[in-house]
Chains A and B, each alone.
Chain A
Amino acid sequence: DADVTQTPRNRITKTGKRIMLECSQTKGHDRMYWYRQDPGLGLRLIYYSFDVKDINKGEISDGYSVSRQAQAKFSLSLESAIPNQTALYFCATSDLVGTGWFFGPGTRLTVL
């Protein structure tokens, strides 16, 4: 089984809809992250969490919110989706020193 799983893998939605992307991990890591990938821009950090009670904004958090339901689960929500949020979204986990990173397979989100 995969260490980091994401659901759904693909989603098409309309402008204004609320969307939730889910991430689960079996690595036992405390640290979890949400990244967005756009062509030519690499990976940009949306939110990160160092434990269940710790949530932090990344460099592009506007328009997004997150929930850390448990050590193993970290969800990303788009409260009112807009077309420029069309992108590939990755969840990742890391160990405490930040050198052992694992990425999920990604969620391709299209906002029409």
Chain B
Amino acid sequence: GENVEQHPSTLSVQEGDSAVIKCTYSDSASNYFPWYKQELGKGPQLIIDIRSNVGEKKDQRIAVTLNKTAKHFSLHITETQPEDSAVYFCAASPIYNFNKFYFGSGTKLNVKP
């Protein structure tokens, strides 16, 4: 089955700096890659996603890049703010085939004021 690895497990940055979180996947059939943000005491919330027919997607300060050949995708957060502090999860799945929806182990991002 799919194996999604996520790095780093913890990341500390200064406010205003950029943060990058990386994930790799093993199943070449995966073609949908969402990112979730989990704040303390809350459930994960989708922040951005990308499909395999696109190499990059941006939404304000957040961007995701995908390299299907290398089977890795990354989350980029620019101009980080303290409210970006949270745990971030990546996931990979073939659309329409739920059985292969797997999450990474999470990255705890701490943005220092």
Tell me the A residues contacting B by CB distance below 8 Å.
4, 31, 40-45, 48, 50, 90, 92, 94, 97-101, 103-106
Contacts of B103 in A (CB 8 A): 42-44
CA distance A98 to B32 in the complex (A): 9
CB <8 Å contact, B98 and A31: yes
Residue on B with the closest CB to A38? B105
With beta carbons under 8 angstroms apart, the residue of B43, B49, B106 that contacts A4 is B43
From residue 83 to 113 of chain B, which have CB atoms closer than 8 A to chain A? 89, 93, 95-98, 101, 103-106
Distance in angstroms from B85 CB to nearest chain A CB is: 17
CB <8 Å contact, B96 and A42: no
Interface string of B26-68 (1 = CB under 8 A from A): 0000001010100001111110010000000000000000000
CB <8 Å contact, A43 and B44: yes
CA distance A42 to B101 in the complex (A): 13
CA distance A45 to B49 in the complex (A): 20
